[in-house]
Chains A and B, each alone.
Chain A
């Protein structure tokens, strides 16, 4: 158990719909990362938040958005869903930002993922 909680575990919806994925980081972790993993693909970095502020963006579509709340949990919003959005969505957390000074080893702790199926 990594200590990172993601909900829902599974979600089935239709094209054009909007969903929200939720992530609770490990206690004390300030950074939250979102990744997308399509079938048999590697992980694609979407976005990172640190203590409520957006810190880095990857290959995140304009139809997707995220935020990190004061209690440090994060939500990933996916709208106008398309068939190609079907994937595993992982949340990860870390104490600080990957590679910053202050002793952060860069270890990310991943949740078990939310499997999104768009029909």
Chain B
């Protein structure tokens, strides 16, 4: 079962910052948060990941709350090409003694002109 909760859908105006929230209240201390996105049935694309510190790369920023129960993915200047389903994922230590990415349903982000 997914360990994350995300809004089903969100809108954002082109050029503005898109802030995508994710709730992971049952996350354990050594479980990372990953973000991927999927553009119209293409293969998912890695965006960013983090443990407890805020992270930034060329695509986005990841803000994780101090208690680690939630995080926000920020796309600083959204473009129409950022329209996609965004998945917030927790990496867990599975029953097979292996790490697994547990995928939820994601947030459908629509960027409007």
Contact = CB atoms under 8 A, between A and B. Distances in A.
B7 to A, nearest CB: 14
Contact of B101 (A57, A88, A106): A106
B96 interface: yes
Nearest to A54: B96
Interface stretch (A38-46, A64-72, A74-82): A38-46
Given A42-B103, A45-B103, A88-B41, A107 B46 contact: yes
Contact of B46 (A88, A100, A108): A108
Nearest to A111: B43
A58 interface: yes
A105 B36 CA distance: 13
Interface string B4-41: 00000000000000000000000000001010100001
Nearest to A2: B43
A88 B87 CA distance: 17
Given A2-B43, A42-B2, A113-B42, A108 B98 contact: no
Contacts of A56: 94, 96, 98, 100
Contacts of B46: 107-109
A80 to B, nearest CB: 25
A99 B99 contact: yes
Interface of A: 2, 4, 41-45, 48, 55-58, 88, 90, 92, 97-100, 105-113
Nearest first, the 6 closest Cβ-Cβ pairs linking A and B are: A110-B43, A99-B99, A56-B96, A56-B98, A107-B46, A43-B103
Given A41-B105, A92-B44, A99-B93, 7 more contacts: A42-B106, A43-B103, A45-B101, A45-B102, A98-B98, A100-B99, A113-B41
Interface of B: 2, 32, 34, 36, 41-46, 49, 87, 91, 93-94, 96, 98-106
